[in-house]
């Protein structure tokens, strides 16, 4: 029994020694929690103070406005990117139409009063009817189209020839007739104006003198022309020319500078 009392005494003594250690450990944990709570509260207070300060200075309001306006600005920028090319294309199209409308050009039908009664087969210059044709920024004189504005032009001419024995009082032989069209260019810059042959076309026809015959020549080409340069058309056997405007005509129009 004495041994039991002694063991009880020892346990009580050990418990009394460990109790302060446990109390000390618990107190340390509580102090750490208190310090952490105080640190978090301090941090929140600092953040709150900074937010209030920024709001009072107007910074946050400016940021909110900028954020609100960012999306409309981007939409306006997108609309501008789309609208600018469309506007540019429309302006170019309008300028092209105006330029096209005011381009120098000429289209002249044959003059019905041409003195082509002579049956001379040698080439002669055709005269054209100004009143029934069109002239825009181009001059006409003595069978010649005269350029007012320099540039690159397209020149064209069509001549039709026809023969019917019924209408030929002299009953001239046309069984082997040469029908050729010539387009000439006169350079105003030359000290002595000498026509330059631009192109020719035609052939030798073996027509039937007992029936109606018709043959047409049409040609055209581009050429660089200077101010006051002239263009004219010669044909062989001009007495055989068709004097209808749809069959025989001459013209030019400017393509570019």
Residues 136, 208 within the same domain: yes
Q: Specify the range with the lowest mean pLDDT, choosing from 127-141, 165-179, 194-208.
A: 165-179
Distance CA 60, CA 64 (A): 6
* Whether this model's pTM surpasses 0.75: no
Domain count, the chain: 2
Q: What is the pLDDT of residues 104-114, one digit of tens each?
A: 999 999 988 76
Interstrand relation of 249-256 and 105-109 (parallel, antiparallel or unpaired):
antiparallel
**Is-contact 252 148, C-beta < 8 A?**
no
**Is-contact 180 241, C-beta < 8 A?**
no
Residues 224, 109 within the same domain: yes
Q: What is the pLDDT of residues 213-246, one digit of tens each?
A: 899 999 999 999 999 999 999 999 998 999 899 9
Query: Which residue is associated with the tokens 């042959």?
Result: 197
Domain final residue pick, 72, 97, 122: 97
Distance CA 251, CA 149 (A): 15
Residues 138, 249 within the same domain: yes
Determine the structural domain holding residue 13 and report its residue range. Answer: 2-97
Q: What is the pLDDT of residues 20-70, one digit of tens each?
A: 545 455 566 777 777 777 777 777 777 677 666 666 665 545 545 555 555
């Amino acid at each position: 029994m004495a041994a039991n009392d002694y063991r009880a005494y020892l346990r009580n003594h050990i418990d009394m020694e460990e109790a302060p250690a446990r109390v000390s450990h618990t107190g340390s944990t509580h102090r750490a929690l208190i310090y952490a709570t105080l640190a978090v509260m301090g941090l929140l207070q600092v953040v709150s103070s900074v937010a209030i300060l920024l709001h009072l200075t107007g910074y946050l309001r400016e940021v909110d406005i900028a954020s609100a306006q960012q999306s409309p600005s981007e939409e306006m920028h997108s609309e501008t990117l789309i609208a600018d090319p469309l506007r540019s294309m429309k302006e170019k199209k309008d300028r092209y139409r105006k330029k096209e409308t005011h381009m120098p050009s000429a289209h002249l039908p044959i003059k019905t009063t041409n003195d082509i009664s002579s049956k001379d087969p040698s080439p002669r210059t055709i005269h054209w009817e100004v009143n029934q044709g069109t002239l825009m920024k181009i001059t006409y004189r003595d069978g010649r189209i005269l350029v007012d504005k320099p540039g690159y032009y397209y020149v064209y001419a069509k001549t039709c020839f026809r023969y019917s024995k019924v209408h030929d009082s002299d009953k001239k032989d046309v069984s082997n007739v040469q029908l050729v069209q010539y387009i000439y260019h006169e350079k105003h810059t030359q000290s002595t104006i000498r026509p330059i042959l631009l192109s020719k076309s035609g052939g030798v026809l073996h027509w039937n003198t007992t029936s109606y015959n018709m043959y047409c020549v049409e040609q055209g080409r581009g050429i660089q022309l200077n101010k006051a340069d002239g263009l004219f058309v010669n044909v062989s056997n001009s007495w055989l020319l068709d004097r209808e405007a749809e069959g025989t005509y001459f013209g030019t129009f400017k393509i570019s500078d």
